[in-house]
Amino acid sequence: MKRNISFGTIDITRNAKDIINQVIKTTRVSQGKYVRDFEKRFASLFDRKYGVAVSSGTDALAIALSVLYDFGAKRGDEIILPALTFIGTANAVLMAGFKPVFVDVEIDTLNINPSLIEKSITKKTRAILPVHLMGKPCNMDEVIKISKEYNLFLIEDAAEAHGSEYKGKKIGSFGDMSCFSTYIAHIISTIEGGIVLTDNSEYADILRSLRTHGRACKCEVCVINLGSNYCKKRFKYGKDIRFVFERVGFSSKMNEIEAAVGIGNIEIFDKILKQRRKNLISLMKKFKEFGKYFYIIEEKPFEKIAPHGFPLVIKEKNKINRNELIIYLAENGIDTRDLFSSIPTQCDGYKFLGYRYGEFPIAEYIGENGLHFGVHQDLNEDDIEYIFNTVKRFIKEKL
């Protein structure tokens, strides 16, 4: 019997609904005490001191990168990132006023190839931006080693890695700053949103300023925003501090309703992650049967994958066509996504950088031959079996 297997889902808990109703009754729906609560809970979950919630994962990256201007960076300086990732990572680099410098990825991890990073470093390089794609951790030992050797900022894109671990340490706790997306399809969701984590109080202050147009008002808890007290700092410059702008900033704030959904997700985070990992592990085991046809990620003993999805890359020299497979799956009720693209050579918007097809062979190959399935918490073992059998039937019919 045909099933409908969606790519993503979202949990809106009873507690989240109660908070939303309270927020609506008070009419204080913009950033306030529940955003602060969400920030603290999220930061604690990933072993960081400070969290700064924003409007999206892309904004999280752009705002984190913009912190670098307070420490000597200039517009047009360079940021190193993987050629294969969701487009938002590269867009954020441009949004922040920097030049993206792309590095090819590894076929077995889908992540940046550390052995290729050093040759891309120049006098204008300011940061390395590793992405933990699909929740598969990067080789952080090598990335950290390089960042320290060249005195570069390390900013993690952990958008898809809520709960992943590398050698016993949580992904998102390695970088000077780490950035998460909390969009619907992600493990912790606020409907729309993102958050930047850091252990550096100065970075946190600048992040708060940047998300609100660069204003001088950047306290961790804003008594004016909470509507509770008079602020002694408000007129410290002789005028309202909320209209003193110290840097070029963004308009990127999370609201109370979004935060309420996020709080509810954090309260059931362990349950969500457990089911997603169960689904991923089941798919990895079952799909070993198709090892002749697909590259399939593995979970190494030193890591823990908190899966955003289950990626597949079609191997060379077989008759399986990625687009035909995606259409077949869709016809059988299974929603999938492409496994992104080589941004510098397969995304038209980046032609202006002057890269040529062939410069990123692994990223380009994955861009043409990769796809990924949802592994979300609403799927069960019967759904996983249905996905497996549908792919098995496709292979049998085509080969």
pLDDT by residue (tens digit) across 16-72? 999 999 999 999 999 999 999 999 999 999 999 999 999 999 999 999 999 999 999
In angstroms, the CA 385 to CA 338 distance is 21
Condensed to tens digits (0 to 9), the pLDDT of residues 325-361 reads: 999 999 999 999 999 999 999 999 999 999 999 999 9
In a shared domain, residues 254 and 286: no
Q: What is the mean pLDDT of residues 303-317?
A: 97
Structural domain ending residue among the three candidates 242, 267, 292? 267
In a shared domain, residues 203 and 309: no
Q: What is the domain extent for residue 320? A: 269-398
SS3 41: helix
In a shared domain, residues 203 and 249: yes
Structural domain ending residue among the three candidates 252, 267, 282? 267
The predicted pLDDT at position 241 comes to 74
SS3 337: strand
Q: What is the greatest pairwise CA distance in the chain?
A: 76
The predicted pLDDT at position 229 comes to 65
The answer to whether 209 and 245 are in contact (CB under 8 A) is no
In a shared domain, residues 160 and 221: yes
In angstroms, the CA 201 to CA 51 distance is 10
In a shared domain, residues 224 and 350: no
Q: What is the mean pLDDT of residues 109-125?
A: 98
Chain centre distance of CA 284 = 22
Strand partners, 336: 373
Q: How many domains does the chain have?
A: 2
The predicted pLDDT at position 87 comes to 98
Structural domain ending residue among the three candidates 267, 296, 324? 267
Let me know if residue 2 belongs to a domain.
no
Let me know if residue 336 belongs to a domain.
yes
In a shared domain, residues 111 and 258: yes
Assign residue 374 the CATH number of its domain: 3.90.1150.10
In a shared domain, residues 208 and 339: no
In angstroms, the CA 53 to CA 64 distance is 11
pLDDT class of 399 with cuts at 50, 70, 90: confident
Let me know if residue 64 belongs to a domain.
yes
Counting residues of the chain whose pLDDT is more than 90, the rounded percentage is 90
In angstroms, the CA 210 to CA 151 distance is 24
Beta strand 309-314 pairing with 50-54: unpaired
Mean of the per-residue pLDDT values of the chain:
95
In a shared domain, residues 36 and 177: yes
Let me know if residue 170 belongs to a domain.
yes
In a shared domain, residues 87 and 173: yes
In a shared domain, residues 315 and 371: yes
In a shared domain, residues 243 and 300: no
The answer to whether 226 and 235 are in contact (CB under 8 A) is no
Condensed to tens digits (0 to 9), the pLDDT of residues 160-183 reads: 999 999 999 999 999 999 999 999
The continuous run of DSSP H or E covering 194 comes out as: strand 194-198
Q: Tell me how many helices (H) and strands (E) the chain has.
A: 12, 16
Condensed to tens digits (0 to 9), the pLDDT of residues 209-262 reads: 999 999 977 666 665 566 556 666 666 666 777 778 899 999 999 999 999 999
